[in-house]
Structure 1
Amino acid sequence: MTRGPVDSSKIPRFAGPATFARLPRLDEVERADVTVIGVPFDSGVSYRPGARFGPAAVREASRLLRPYHPGLDVSPFERVQVADGGDIACNPFHIEEAVETIDAAASSIDSRLVTIGGDHTIALPLLRAAARKHGPVALLHFDAHLDTWDTYFGAAYTHGTPFRRAVEEGILDTEALSHVGIRGPLYGKRDLEEDRRLGFGIVTSADVMRRGIDEVVDALRQRIGERPLYVSVDIDVLDPAHAPGTGTPEAGGMTSRELLEILRGLAGCNLVGADVVEVAPAYDHAEITSIAASHVAYDLVSLLALRENK
């Protein structure tokens, strides 16, 4: 029998525990099938800091989430045990040490993870942990930016470099790598050429608009196949109108509806883990960004619940 969220008919949504979706803590259940964890780390950012406060903001915004997902026809918290694993505390003054800490902590949790960041640096150790369990994984990366640059100011580990490092380390299946939502200026055409050489395909935000959700989802599913899949969502994939609270906003992004519909189109894929990163609440208004991120995390949890044999 699973233990679900606090009953909102007895305890108002604005009261009670500040866990994701008001779910039990990991130490309050015997075991978990899916664990939501936070990584309050933003030492790898190149522009506006503040994503270290993302996990707390997303948890707070998740209070209004309800237990039945009509879009996927699933009650995730009944189908599987979902728990909040708290935060991974890591060194904010030493990026390499933080990366190792996140890897070790994620590897020690015996369930599938939905991680709330934090900046995108954290995707690398999370991918390491996923690949250790499942082998090289397919990657579906939602972002305004490629995040396959080689370095920033000589630093190998930043929020703009995780997926280059992941390819170099052999933890990604290079036959199944996709960016979705890419847009905005680059340093040069070579950025695209190097990204293509690493094995990535690109669906721009304009492609989503022109081709439509169904065509985009079909193409992504064909590329993914039956491979173990990791989904990484940088909230700046959304237009600043839908996600102002982020560190590197770019005009011309996707709507929250488009993002959620693409995620729902992944139902049945072999999802093994996911993250939602770069929520920086200091730049947010009326919790617009953290609400969007909480719904993204809820959809990811629901997709993982659909994979369980129950």
Structure 2
Amino acid sequence: MAKVSLLGIPHDENSSWLRGPADAPPLIRRELRSDAHSSWSETGFDLSDRFLDHGDIDFSQPGDPWERIESEVGRALDAGHPLISLGGDHAIAWPILRAVRRRHPSLTILQIDAHPDLYDAYQDNQRSHTSSFARIMEERLADRLIQVGLRTLNDDLRDQVRRFGVEVVEARHFNEGLRLDLNTPVYISMDLDALDPAFAPGVSHREPGGLSTRQVVGLIQSIDQPIVAADVVEYNPRQDISNVTALVAAKLVKEIAGMMLRTNTAG
């Protein structure tokens, strides 16, 4: 039976504003496993026995956390299944994609986010969660970067968009039924602050005017190429209200997993 790997990456030391996303992976798992919710994806997969959970990376030991993330992601990918990483802040996308790119010489990143995360450095930190995609594009870890849901662009960031040839669909230009022209395997980088705070209040950087949960699910379900890996990041339980955002995060994990099974296998 085809599976989807899960890996928790509880790391938020490069968050620029609030800490908290390191607490997220076990809370997302709790909602994934809760009997209160359906275990089926909307695309028709019962996910109750489809996840191969590799646990959480242990950052208590000495060493460079980026090297540990890259190594552990590589080990999870060696199991042969598509991988969903549970963050953590968005800084972790850089070492994740180092491991993913080695296995996929053709790769498109679909980043769903309020922020482009393209600053060269933020607060003098080149590993900042606001800079991860500058590093990713500098290292050519994808052939294309498509960013959907942005609503925080400034002149510096627009310069970076042009520099790296990023394809942008700002939130103000998002249309129902958006279809992306994809022709390679896909990596989904799902920052929960892409959603309007009404749907996902549990994030460090609430940015009004965002996408709805339905719009994000619809975008994920429109992908017609193999989804080989993904991250779901920036859930901050310390900011959440009535566990709403944990539930949204688990819903998105289920829908990404369902589409992984649909696009990578016959089920």
Instruction: Compute the TM-score of the two structures, normalised by the length of structure 1.
Output: 0.79
Cα deviation code 1:78-129 (max 9, x no counterpart): 7xx42221101225998xx111100000101223210110000111111111
- Count of residue pairs the alignment pairs up: 261
Return the offset for 1:74.
Answer: 3.2
Q: Identify the match of residue 162 of structure 1 among 124, 132, 136.
A: 132
Matches within 5 A, 1:4-83: 33-62=3-32, 63=34, 64-69=36-41, 71-76=42-47, 81-83=50-52
1:136 CA displacement: 4.5
Which of 147, 150, 165 aligns to 2:117? It is: 147
Report the Cα offset of residue 153 of structure 1.
2.2
Give the secondary structure class of the aligned counterpart of 2:86.
strand
Q: 1:257 aligns with which of 192, 209, 214?
A: 214
**Equivalent of 1:104 in 71, 85, 105:** 71
Q: 1:163, CA displacement in angstroms?
A: 1.1
Partner of 1:179: 147
CA spacing shift, 1:145–1:91, aligned 2, 3 Å: farther
> d(CA) in 2 for partners of 1:179 and 1:138?
11
- Alpha carbons 1:183, 1:205 under 8 Å: kept: yes
Name which of 195, 205, 221 aligns with 1:248: 205
Q: Spell out, residue by residue over 1:111-168, the C-alpha distance to the aligned partner (whole angstroms, 9 max, x if none).
A: 3210110000111111111101112521000000001111022221111111111111
Amino acid at match of 2:256: L
3-state SS of paired residue (2:39):
coil
Stretches of 4+ aligned residues off by more than 6 angstroms = none
- Partners of 1:59 and 1:93 lie apart in 2 by 27
Percent of paired sites with the same residue: 30
The structure with higher relative contact order (CA 8 Å, sep 6+) is 2
Greater Rg by CA: 1
Distance 1:91 1:192, change over 3 A: farther
- For 1:127 and 1:281, how far apart are their aligned partners in 2? 25
Q: Which residue, 190, 201, 217 being the options, matches 1:233?
A: 190
Deviates more, 1:195-204 or 1:278-287: 195-204
CA distance in 2, matches of 1:253, 1:180: 10
What letter matches 1:134 in structure 2?
H
Q: Which residue of 1 aligns with 2:57?
A: 88
Q: Residue in 1 aligned with 2:94? A: 124
Unaligned runs of at least 5 residues, structure 1: 3-31
Q: Decide which of 165, 168, 176 is 1:202's aligned counterpart.
A: 168
* CA offset digits 1:10-38 (Å, max 9, x no partner): xxxxxxxxxxxxxxxxxxxxxx7321111
CA distances 1:170-215 after superposition (whole Å, capped 9, x unpaired): 2110xx321011013x4x413112212202111112222xx32x1x
Secondary structure of 2:55's aligned partner: strand
Question: Paired residue for 1:26?
Answer: none
1:66 positional shift = 2.5
Q: 1 CA distance for matches of 2:255 and 2:217?
A: 7
Give the distance between the partners of 1:248 and 1:172, measured in 2 at CA: 26
What TM-score do the two structures reach when normalised by structure 2?
A: 0.92
Q: Helix, strand or coil: the match of 2:114?
A: coil
- Asked if 2 retains the 8 angstrom alpha-carbon contact of 1:51 and 1:281, the reply is yes
Aligned to 1:8: none
Q: Aligned partners of 2:208, 2:109: CA distance in 1, in Å?
A: 24
1: CA distance between counterparts of 2:168 and 2:61? Answer: 32
- What RMSD, in angstroms, separates the aligned Cα atoms of the two structures? 1.9
Amino acid at match of 1:194: Q
CA contact (8 A) 1:102 1:125 kept: yes
